[in-house]
């Protein structure tokens, strides 16, 4: 059994409000080079964890926080032109962010179904009976991209992005089948019931569940948060494997080791590190401080 040297404690994620730009850099964060904290290798079928409740809550929150960070980058790259097709480098960054989102969604969903139903689903339903991914603030500006609705997506000239989006839909379907085989989301199950959230409250309830606070964030701080989460995810995978052993067996997401998601399960870090590299090269992080800066 892994005695878990990894701190399975999710941190608060500070995100700029949707539509608000990044803040100016007046207090650069301490930067630790990403390469120094990423552990690349892990077993797909892993070991036992001493505290599975802590492990899967950690994965559920960390995995979602990774999605939010990647959605924000996607949103910024998508909306920085005035509707025209992004340049090839930006399209590559977008495809990497979508693959990173797929990877993070798989990681978050490595929880066995019974555990998910008893603990995570119940905790979300207690947060709100209609709790839904559709309430995610950072997804709102990019929903149309996932529906291939941008005019420049119509002519088939962005094949890598189109492939990444198609695979993302497959991942979401597989994850939903794995965790909720009866097929109804909380939102669908609660249809017609009282207790609808007030306008504007849904996003706050969603943020609050996933430990997100909204405040001005500058780009270096944004990237530091991304890096620390990639480091934590990699340390967890190195310690417990992708699918930890729970009650004497593994609980893989069906077909995840054979189908189109195979490489995301075998090397979940690759798209995340690729997205990170492109964020820097693309000057998404144009006011970032050098990797080796210490205070």
Q: Is-contact 44 233, C-beta < 8 A?
A: no
Q: Which of 10, 46, 63, 271 binds ligand HEM (CB under 6 A)?
A: 63
Residue 180 is a binding residue for ligand HEM (CB under 6 A)? yes
The SS3 of residue 243 is strand
Cβ-Cβ contacts under 8 Å for 286 (sequence gap 6 or more) = 219
Residue 179 is a binding residue for ligand HEM (CB under 6 A)? yes
Q: Which of 47, 117, 132, 153 binds ligand HEM (CB under 6 A)?
A: 132
| Residue 15: CB minimum distance to ligand HEM, A | 15
Residue 79 is a binding residue for ligand HEM (CB under 6 A)? no
Q: Which of 150, 185, 250, 280 binds ligand HEM (CB under 6 A)?
A: 185
User: Helix 219-240 vs helix 88-108: angle between axes, to the nearest 10 degrees?
Assistant: 40
Q: Which of 108, 124, 145, 165 binds ligand HEM (CB under 6 A)?
A: 108
- Rounded to the nearest angstrom, the gap between the alpha carbon of residue 42 and the centroid of all alpha carbons in its chain is 19
Residue 15 is a binding residue for ligand HEM (CB under 6 A)? no
- Contacts with ligand HEM, 142-161, as mask; x by CB under 6 A: -x------------------
| Residue 190: CB minimum distance to ligand HEM, A | 9
Cβ-Cβ contacts under 8 Å for 22 (sequence gap 6 or more) = 16, 216, 217, 218, 219, 222
Q: Which of 97, 164, 175, 239 binds ligand HEM (CB under 6 A)?
A: 175
Judged by CB, which is closer to ligand HEM: 61, or 96? Answer: 61
| Residue 109: CB minimum distance to ligand HEM, A | 5
Residue 141 is a binding residue for ligand HEM (CB under 6 A)? no
Structure tokens at 248: 């004497």
Return left, alpha or beta for 283; rule: phi > 0 is left, psi -120 to 50 is alpha, else beta. Answer: left
Q: Is-contact 113 53, C-beta < 8 A?
A: no
DSSP 154-215: TTS--HHHHHHHHHHHHHHHHHHHHH-TT---HHHHTTT-S-PPPTTHHHHHHHHHTTEEE-
| Residue 36: CB minimum distance to ligand HEM, A | 28
User: Where on the chain is the footprint of ligand HEM (CB under 6 A)?
Assistant: 63-64, 67, 105, 108-109, 132-134, 136, 139, 143, 172, 175-176, 179-180, 185, 187-188
């Amino acid at each position: 059994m892994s005695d878990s040297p990894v701190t399975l404690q999710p941190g608060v994620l500070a995100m700029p409000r949707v539509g608000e730009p990044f803040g100016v850099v007046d207090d650069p964060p301490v930067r630790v080079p990403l390469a120094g904290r990423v552990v690349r290798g892990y077993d797909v079928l892993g070991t036992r964890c001493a505290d599975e409740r802590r492990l899967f809550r950690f994965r559920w929150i960390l995995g979602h926080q990774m999605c939010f960070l990647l959605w924000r980058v996607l949103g910024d790259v998508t909306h920085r032109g005035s509707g025209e097709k992004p340049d090839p480098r930006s399209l590559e960054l977008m495809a990497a962010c979508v693959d990173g989102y797929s990877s993070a969604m798989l990681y978050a969903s490595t929880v066995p179904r019974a555990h998910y139903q008893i603990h995570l689903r119940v905790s979300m339903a207690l947060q709100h009976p209609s709790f839904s991914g559709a309430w995610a603030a950072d997804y709102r500006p990019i929903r149309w991209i996932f529906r291939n609705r941008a005019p420049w997506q119509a002519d088939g000239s962005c094949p890598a992005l189109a492939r990444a989006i198609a695979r993302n839909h497959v991942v979401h379907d597989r994850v939903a089948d794995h965790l909720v085989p009866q097929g109804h989301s909380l939102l669908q199950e609660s249809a017609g019931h009282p207790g609808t959230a007030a306008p504007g409250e849904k996003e706050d309830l969603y943020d609050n569940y996933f430990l997100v606070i909204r405040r001005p964030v500058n780009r270096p701080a944004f990237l530091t948060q991304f890096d620390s989460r990639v480091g934590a995810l990699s340390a967890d995978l190195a310690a417990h494997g992708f699918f930890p052993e729970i009650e004497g067996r593994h609980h893989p997401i069906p077909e995840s080791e054979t189908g189109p998601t195979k490489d995301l399960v075998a090397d979940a870090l690759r798209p995340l590190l690729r997205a990170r590299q492109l964020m820097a090269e693309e000057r998404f992080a144009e006011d970032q401080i050098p990797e080796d800066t210490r205070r």
